Amino acid sequence: MRGVKGLLWPVFLVARKDLLVEFRSREVVIGSAVFAVTLVVIFNFALNITPETVDILAPGVLWAAFSFAGVLAMSRAFVTEKDQGSLEGLLLTPVSRDSIYFGKMLALFIFMTAVEAALLPVFAVLFDFSAFSPTLVGAVLLATLGFAAVGTLFSAVAVNTRSREIMLPILFFPVVSPVIIGAVEATTGAIGAGVSAAGPGRWLQLMAVFDAVFLVLCPWLFSLIMEE
């Protein structure tokens, strides 16, 4: 019991600290939200989305916007800490690296979910679909968890490289492509007419398995990376 508390309490502290810092600086959430809206507006005009094509195009547009906005958010997860030197201070505390990883991941998950929750109704109005479908909400939560799990790790890797802005998307997108594909397919199933419920369910399962694997793998790799 003491072990679980010893792991969870620092997770809560790190996440709460990140949320407080974000509340004051508003660097991540506003930047990501503006970027996602801009992407959707550009896609809307570039692809000439009509009521006939919305079922086919909207899921792709939605997840392209969420994915790129997510990368923007995760790129800040360690950059500010590194630039301020506070990452070194954090690593000098006697808490386990797992706790630091899960704290940073939880904060990133909350930032990304907040941006998506704010934007989903906007997209729903723009593309005329229901934002409150359980399948769609499930897809958003599972995909965001996968993004946050992998993104926290690669953000920590990229921050120590010279070309960190380029390195993060190069590392991130190939690994999370199963999640993006799963999210697009599940969203198509959720908003598309005449698609059976069994289709999106399989994609949700795929994302759940991906999340479970990477929630075990990423903290372990994070611990190795953080001890040079």
Partner 1 sequence: MSPAPGTPAIEATGLHKSFGVAPVLRGLDLRVEWGRVLVVFGANGSGKTTLLRLLAAQYRPDRGRVVVGGIDRSRDPSSIRRMIGVVAHQPMLYQDLTCRENLTFFGRMRGLNDLPRRVDEALRRVGLEARRHRRARALSHGMQKRLALGVATLHDPPVLLLDEPASGLDQEALAGLRGMFSSASGGRRAVVMVTHNLERGLEWADEVAVLSGGVIAYKAEREGLDEGRFEEAYRGGLR
The footprint of partner 1 (CB under 8 A) covers 10, 13-14, 17, 20-21, 24-25, 84-86, 88-96, 227-228
In angstroms, give the least distance from the CB of 226 to partner 1. 9
Nearer to partner 1, 64 or 226 (CB): 226
Where would I find the H helices in 48-194? 54-84, 86-91, 97-127, 134-158, 164-191
Nearer to partner 1, 73 or 191 (CB): 73
Longest dimension (CA), the chain: 58
The label of the residue with tokens 């040079």 reads 228
In angstroms, give the least distance from the CB of 48 to partner 1. 43
3-state secondary structure of 199: helix
Round the CA-based radius of gyration of the chain to a whole number and report it: 18
Nearer to partner 1, 82 or 199 (CB): 82
- Cα–Cα distance measured from residue 65 to residue 50, given in angstroms and rounded to the nearest whole number: 19
In angstroms, give the least distance from the CB of 4 to partner 1. 15
In angstroms, give the least distance from the CB of 32 to partner 1. 18
Nearer to partner 1, 89 or 121 (CB): 89
In angstroms, give the least distance from the CB of 69 to partner 1. 22
3-state secondary structure of 207: helix
Q: How many of the other CB atoms lie within 10 Å of CB of 187?
A: 25
Nearer to partner 1, 13 or 215 (CB): 13
- Cα–Cα distance measured from residue 36 to residue 48, given in angstroms and rounded to the nearest whole number: 18
Judged on CB neighbours under 10 Å (0-12, 13-18, 19+), 75 is buried
Nearer to partner 1, 27 or 55 (CB): 27
